[in-house]
Structure 1
Amino acid sequence: MTAHGAFHWNELMTRDAAKAKDFYGKSLGWTFDDMPMGPDMTYTIIRSNGEMVGGMMQIGGPAFEGVPDHWMSYIAVDDVDKRIEKLKAGGGRVMREPWVAEGVGRIAIVADSNGAAQGWMTPADGVS
């Protein structure tokens, strides 16, 4: 499991997944594995030299209006629920309450005391 406090996962949120795949494939040599996630979503695993290094998802619709393409980082924490209390005490805020992503872990989207967004996650057992 990823050590507490270490970056665990990075995810590209993009409006044009095909263009991003072309760019990163040509510039960094990345390869991509698409995983259907229901009728309206595909999640893409990003690989470098065969190793998983991140993910990608296409964004759009009203929920993402005005949100630019961006990379989202996730930091591994020992207990996301307990750490959120410390986050709040330190002046941070919860942007999305914790939820369980099956086989991935328990995740919350938070902002630090300066407003920088990030994900905090307690990885599922065996996920590193």
Structure 2
Amino acid sequence: MTNPTPTHGTIMWTELMTRDLPKALEYYSAVCGWEYDLMPDPDTGGQYHIAKKDGQSVAGLMDMSAIENLSEVPPHWFTYIAVDDVDAAVEATKAAGGEIRRPPFDIPGIGRIAMIADPTGAALGLMTPAS
């Protein structure tokens, strides 16, 4: 990611999870002027598309078809909030009544991530960027 490192508590990243990736790529390119870089997607074995605008990374797009346990989840935008320490934020989430949907894991060169639901049930990601 080429954008400046977000501070704790700010929106860090957003990604589209869809079952029709070619249509989404075409749409956002036409409407937003996005261009795409590719990186391997460890969850699907496919490619993760980094959307760029004016040379800056703005979002990710991925095919959710191959991800286990998402067959009934509709296509959606998923948001990540920057935290100083994902592991501490996961513990704080538990203490505050949230749910851990995917425990912390690392993506080399990107950062440490956890998927959670807040106490209202809203899903989001917590992310500490790689140094």
Distance 1:124 1:18 in 2: 29
- C-alpha distance in structure 1 between counterparts of 2:47 and 2:29, whole Å: 18
Aligned counterparts of 2:48 and 2:98: Cα–Cα separation in 1:
29
1:97 equivalenced with 2:103 (yes/no):
yes
Alignment coverage as a number of residue pairs: 125
Q: Give 4+ residue runs of structure 1 displaced > 6 Å after superposition.
A: none
After TM superposition, give the deviation of residue 69 of structure 1 in Å: 0.8
Deviation for aligned residue 1:61: 3.7
1:119 to 108, 122, 125: 125
CA RMSD, 1 decimal: 1.6
Distance 1:104 1:30, change over 3 A: same
Are 1:81 and 2:83 counterparts? no
1:18 maps onto 2:22 in alignment: yes
Match of 1:30 among 30, 34, 38: 34
Distance change (3 Å), C-alpha of 1:88 and 1:40: closer
Residues 20/108 of structure 1: CA separation in 2 closer, same or farther (3 Å cut): same
Q: 1:40 to 1:81 in 2, by over 3 A?
A: closer
Q: What TM-score does the superposition give when structure 2 sets the normalisation length?
A: 0.88
Q: How big is each residue's C-alpha offset from its partner over 1:27-65, in whole Å with a ceiling of 9 and x where there is no partner? A: 111111223447941110101122110111111147221
Deviation larger for 60-69 or 34-43? 34-43
Gaps of 5+ in 2: none
CA distance in 2, matches of 1:84, 1:77: 10
User: Structure 1: which 5+ runs fail to align?
Assistant: none
**Residue identity matched to 1:56:** L
Q: Deviations over 1:98-118 (max 9, x none)?
A: 011111111000000100000
Note the 1:45-60 alignment, pairs <5 A.
Answer: 45-60=50-65
TM-score normalised by structure 1 residue count: 0.90
**Counterpart selection for 1:43 from 45, 48, 66:** 48
Counterparts of 2:112 and 2:88, CA distance in 1: 12
